[in-house]
Structure 1
Amino acid sequence: MPIEPWRATCIQMSSERATQAPDDKAAVALIQRNLDRLIGLIEAACASRDKPDLVVFPEFALQGPPLGMGVVDWIARACITIPGPITAPLQELARRHKIYISGNAFEAPSEWPGRYFNSSFLIDRNGEIILNYRRINTAAFPSPHDFMSDYMAATPEEEVFPVVETELGRLALIPCGEINVPEVARVFMMQGAEVILHPTNSKYSVGQEAAKVARAVENMCYLVSANVAGPIGFSPDNSIQGGRSHIIDHHGETLAFQEDAEEGVAVSAMIDVETLRADRRADTGIHNPLLWARFEMYRPFYERARFYPADHFRESPMTDTDQTRGAIEIARANLEKLRVLQPLNS
């Protein structure tokens, strides 16, 4: 059956940071306030003339970032399970309004004690969580790459970079700065992703704004990017603002955009998956980066790419992000070997 055009809406919302609460009890109340604010904005979007079929809310919207808090303390203070008590009201909201809800939260699953993930999830119209992507490329948080051998042995390959087939098309999630890593979107495209949902919490940078367009164009995907309203999570003094929620089509054209950091649901647009599918089939030379891709030529170079070390925290979980300094030194040395970095003593 053809997919009728459907509406995506960005929930550009402000949020408080659990790390700035005076204690764990106050952090629980703070997370509840964030959740209530999110629910109110989704309700407003559903009550509007342009009711969405899918909404995306920002990265860190529920908890804020850990801001240097140690892993054990952050898990105790703010991390959740997916699904769990914090996702339950969103699941009920999705059921009641018959919409998809996507966003981001810090997850501490019981099967990986002592570890947490920056996780992006999708709830369907029936209130079921049908996708959960645990971010791979991180700087300030743990990653499945830190214990890759164990994680890959326990996790089906299709759940490492998950793409889900829905009545809206094939959907994937990429959080925040990971949009700057071309391989992530590429792997999703290779599994058929047609719409990339991008919960973000980021300041303005030329590179990241360009990366949003590039990932959409080079993979012929729609991109729905919801940023935080007000100050970003990594601005404890509130001096750096968010904004710039953006919906982009598979040719890189802007469908909806909000420059300012005001809270609201104004960034909303129709997604036409059938047109995307037709355009992916059309032979337009190198303007179609899928039909004309030559991936075999790249494989030997990727095979030699051993930079940031996998399994660096396999034996015991990271307890503080300062511990990544050793991994960075290994990555720097590996990059020097291939002359990507110029050795300091050369």
Structure 2
Amino acid sequence: MPADCNPVSPVRIAVIQYDPQVGLKHTRGNLNKGLLLAQRAVSEGANLIVLPELANTGYTFHTRAEAYAHAEPLDGSSSLQAWESFAREQQVYLAAGFAERDGLKLYDSAVLFGPEGRLGLYRKAHLWNQEKLWFTPGNLGFPVFETPIGRIGLMICWDIWFPEVPRLMASQGADIICSLNNWVWTPPPLFDASGRCMASYLTMTAAHVNNLYIAAANRIGSERGGRFLGCSLIAGTHGWPIGEVAGAEQECIVYADVDLSTARSAPIWNNLNDLPRDRRTDLYDAALGYRLHPAMPR
């Protein structure tokens, strides 16, 4: 382990909720806004920061050509270089979403940076609505990245509706999943009496049944006739939010202070109930047939 990457516990997680807007004229402003809020989070003690899906470009593209114009390659991207420099200089871990250009293919991607540089890349596996017209479905599977603060997985937005995604990362040994989102308004009902949306409950449920942390950053605002739900949150291994669930409209940062390694013993509720041990692997494969990445010991 590098000398400048000593384990940190507890970890202060920050999920950042703001309003990036589509359009090339907005890209630099979106990037700077996210970094400004990330700097505020650092000043308030955060060392794991999660930005939304497509944090530097906005979301609602009109054509594939427009999506392509907004996209950047993994190497040589000014946005990724700015995020990487921020993580190095501030000695923090940062997850951010961007439109990735790989040759002629486009991916809705998330990248993880740390004090030592880029640590991981995830390409969104489940594409929502018109995303299917611009992006190629992800081809990297569901990797989990080992870091000095814990094992970190990445997922994006619509992925949370597919319980296989957090389950496969949990089966690999993930301590936390950073969930980068552009949850949109859909036909009502959108919120319950407490102001939570369905995506909040799906996040809480996935954290609970997999006994890991999920830090979900969503965006807010309106864009080209669409609206976004907010409701960013950090769910604990018990499923309940740690701290507040953000509202639907305000720019904000949600924080939680946790020891990520506690996720590894959280499944042991008592002598008779242990989620990994209780799985009926005689009836189904514990990893659901997934073979791209080996499980880490817990």
- Structures share fold, TM-score greater than 0.5: yes
Distance 1:85 1:2 in 2: 29
SS at structure 1 position matched to 2:14: strand
Other-structure match for 2:236: 249
2:17 is the counterpart of 1:7: no
**Which of 250, 257, 260 is the matching residue for 1:262?**
250
Q: When you count strand as a share of all residues, which structure comes out higher? A: 2
Note the 1:106-185 alignment, pairs <5 A.
106-109=99-102, 113-126=103-116, 128-139=117-128, 140-141=131-132, 142-144=135-137, 159-185=140-166
Other-structure match for 1:186: 167
| RMSD value, Cα | 2.2
Q: Is the 8 A contact 1:137 1:143 kept in 2?
A: no
Q: Is the 8 A contact 1:13 1:264 kept in 2?
A: yes
Q: Letter of the aligned partner of 1:58 in structure 2?
A: P
2:32 is the counterpart of 1:36: yes
Q: Is the 8 A contact 2:246 2:252 kept in 1?
A: no
Distance 1:258 1:283 in 2: 33
Q: Letter of the aligned partner of 1:163 in structure 2?
A: V
SS at structure 1 position matched to 2:267: helix
2:215 is the counterpart of 1:224: yes
Displacement of 1:281: 4.3
Displacement of 1:263: 1.2
**Which of 48, 59, 68 is the matching residue for 1:54?**
48
Cα offsets for 1:112-151 (capped at 9, x unmatched): x32110111100122x111101111113233346xxxxx5
Q: When you count helix as a share of all residues, which structure comes out higher? A: 1
Cα offsets for 1:253-303 (capped at 9, x unmatched): 2102212421122x10112223322223454545x322211144135xx78
Count of paired positions? 266
Other-structure match for 1:310: none
In structure 1, the gaps of 5 or more residues are: 19-26, 146-150, 152-158, 304-346
Q: Is the 8 A contact 2:268 2:275 kept in 1?
A: no
Q: Letter of the aligned partner of 2:9 in structure 1?
A: E
Distance 2:123 2:228 in 1: 26
- With over 3 angstroms needed to count, the CA separation of the structure-2 counterparts of 1:218 and 1:30, relative to structure 1, is same
Cα offsets for 1:153-190 (capped at 9, x unmatched): xxxxxx53211111111100111111110111111111
Q: Letter of the aligned partner of 1:278 in structure 2?
A: S
**Which of 183, 195, 199 is the matching residue for 2:180?**
199
Other-structure match for 1:338: none
Other-structure match for 2:267: 280
What's the TM-score once normalised by structure 2's chain length? 0.82
- With over 3 angstroms needed to count, the CA separation of the structure-2 counterparts of 1:207 and 1:263, relative to structure 1, is closer
- With over 3 angstroms needed to count, the CA separation of the structure-2 counterparts of 1:100 and 1:260, relative to structure 1, is same
2:45 is the counterpart of 1:45: no
Q: Is the 8 A contact 1:230 1:263 kept in 2?
A: no
What's the TM-score once normalised by structure 1's chain length? 0.71
Q: Is the 8 A contact 1:3 1:273 kept in 2?
A: no
Question: Identity over aligned residues, as a percent?
Answer: 23
In structure 2, the gaps of 5 or more residues are: 1-5, 191-196, 290-298
**Which of 260, 280, 298 is the matching residue for 1:294?**
280
Distance 2:205 2:242 in 1: 15
- With over 3 angstroms needed to count, the CA separation of the structure-2 counterparts of 1:52 and 1:2, relative to structure 1, is closer
Displacement of 1:40: 1.0
- With over 3 angstroms needed to count, the CA separation of the structure-2 counterparts of 1:284 and 1:31, relative to structure 1, is farther
2:67 is the counterpart of 1:74: yes
Distance 1:117 1:296 in 2: 37
